């Protein structure tokens, strides 16, 4: 269902001026003036090598290869380990999407900001990560928060079935090997209690790429975002993995932030799917796609696919 694509990274540093590359890199990762071209080159060379390794990883050893690759990435590029750290303003919408005091499992917690925030809000949270570089694993328990191990794919091998009200992932699904995507969503469903939901936010293909490729103005991901999603793909995931329905999270940008209005919606999901289908059907040239993507930002289509899969 999800194909593995061979990335094209030819002449990356010849596409745009080097000063612009550095500026775009700093902006993309929220980094300061201490970051220069040498940092970008090191990152690009390392991530290209690791991406090719991930794509070629056989299923039997994929989990260990992914763990080693991400550990190597964050150990050799320490400025990335805390890059893009979420603020409470970013995290608050998630608390509106769940019933208070629910039991929550987060996939790929990174530094743990989301889980810590939700625990302070009264949720019973399990945080997970596959690498030590992005999370302090000495924090095994604390007031509504515990850390567990996972490989991010075979979730049911690490947790009891039907043990969580909600599963969350934010900026994680795009890192999965395309051949593991269905397994990931199937095993997430296994962990959910009857009526539970998996809420996932991941970069939107139409507004991407959102990985290092963006720095070089590439049209498709060429680094460790192995698959960026569209809304129609979640229809297939829903059917194949046994979820009862898929809803889109209503996000009206500044208005939602001001009013705290974030709601799962069937009609909003249908609307966003239609935008994706219009592009795939009618925007065949690169120029047409770029024009439609600029227009879609004014049509309430955000940079992320944000959906709720109901068991």
Question: Quick check: 264 pLDDT over 60?
Answer: yes
Kindly state the DSSP code that residue 111 receives in the 8-state scheme.
Answer: T
Q: Are 196 and 103 in contact (CB under 8 A)?
A: no
Same domain, 226 and 161: yes
Residue 59 tokens read as: 């299923």
Of the ranges 5-14, 188-197, 216-225, which one carries the lowest mean pLDDT score? 5-14
- The reply to whether 70 falls in a domain is yes
pLDDT in tens, 121-141: 999 999 998 765 544 544 556
Instruction: Report the pLDDT value the prediction gives residue 138, as an integer from 0 to 100.
Output: 43
Same domain, 278 and 243: yes
Instruction: Report the pLDDT value the prediction gives residue 37, as an integer from 0 to 100.
Output: 97
Residue 106 tokens read as: 């987060």
User: Cβ contacts of residue 226 below 8 Å, gap of 6+?
Assistant: 4, 51, 54, 55, 174, 175, 176, 177, 178
CA separation for the pair 242, 302 (Å, rounded): 27
Q: How far apart are the first and last CA of the chain?
A: 21
- The reply to whether 142 falls in a domain is yes
Higher pLDDT, 300 or 211: 211
Question: Quick check: 271 pLDDT over 70?
Answer: yes
Which domain CATH number covers 169?
3.40.50.150
Higher pLDDT, 291 or 214: 214
Question: Quick check: 76 pLDDT over 60?
Answer: yes
Same domain, 229 and 187: yes
State how many domains the chain has.
Answer: 2
Same domain, 212 and 76: no
pLDDT in tens, 221-260: 999 999 999 999 999 999 999 999 999 999 877 778 888 8
Same domain, 203 and 152: yes
Question: Quick check: 85 pLDDT over 90?
Answer: no
| Helices first, then strands: H and E counts in the chain | 11, 9
Same domain, 55 and 103: no
Q: Where are the alpha helices (DSSP H) in 213-285?
A: 233-241, 254-259, 266-282
pLDDT in tens, 152-175: 999 999 999 999 999 999 999 999
Taking residue 220's Cβ as centre, other Cβ atoms within 10 Å add up to: 13
Same domain, 137 and 246: yes
Q: Which domain holds residue 33?
A: 15-81
Same domain, 20 and 140: no
Average pLDDT of 32-52? 97
- The reply to whether 280 falls in a domain is yes
């Amino acid at each position: 269902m999800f194909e593995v694509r061979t990335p094209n990274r030819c002449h990356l540093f010849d596409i745009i001026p080097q000063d612009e590359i550095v500026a775009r890199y700093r902006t993309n990762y929220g980094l300061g003036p201490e970051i220069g071209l040498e940092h970008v080159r090191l990152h690009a060379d390392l991530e290209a090598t690791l991406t090719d390794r991930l794509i070629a990883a056989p299923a039997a050893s994929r989990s260990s290869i992914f763990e080693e690759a991400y550990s190597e990435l964050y150990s050799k590029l320490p400025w990335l380990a805390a890059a893009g750290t979420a603020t409470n303003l970013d995290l608050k919408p998630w608390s509106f999407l769940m019933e208070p005091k629910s039991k929550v499992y987060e996939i790929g917690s990174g530094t743990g900001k989301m889980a810590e925030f939700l625990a302070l809000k009264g949720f019973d949270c399990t945080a997970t990560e596959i690498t030590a570089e992005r999370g302090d694993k000495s924090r095994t328990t604390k007031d509504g928060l515990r850390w567990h191990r996972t490989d991010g794919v075979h979730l049911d091998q690490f947790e009891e079935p039907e043990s969580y009200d909600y599963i969350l992932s934010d900026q994680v699904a795009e890192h999965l090997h395309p051949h593991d995507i269905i397994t990931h969503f199937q095993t997430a469903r296994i962990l959910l209690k009857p009526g539970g939901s998996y809420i996932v936010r991941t970069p939107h293909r139409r507004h991407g790429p959102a990985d290092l490729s963006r720095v070089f103005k590439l049209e498709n991901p060429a680094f460790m975002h192995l698959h960026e999603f569209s809304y129609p793909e979640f229809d297939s995931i829903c059917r194949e993995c046994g979820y009862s329905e898929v809803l889109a999270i209503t996000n009206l940008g500044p208005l939602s932030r001001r009013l705290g209005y974030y709601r799962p919606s069937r009609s909003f999901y249908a609307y966003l799917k239609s935008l994706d289908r219009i592009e795939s059907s009618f925007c065949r040239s690169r120029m047409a796609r770029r024009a439609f993507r600029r227009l879609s930002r004014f049509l309430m289509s955000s940079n992320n696919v944000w959906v709720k899969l109901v068991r």
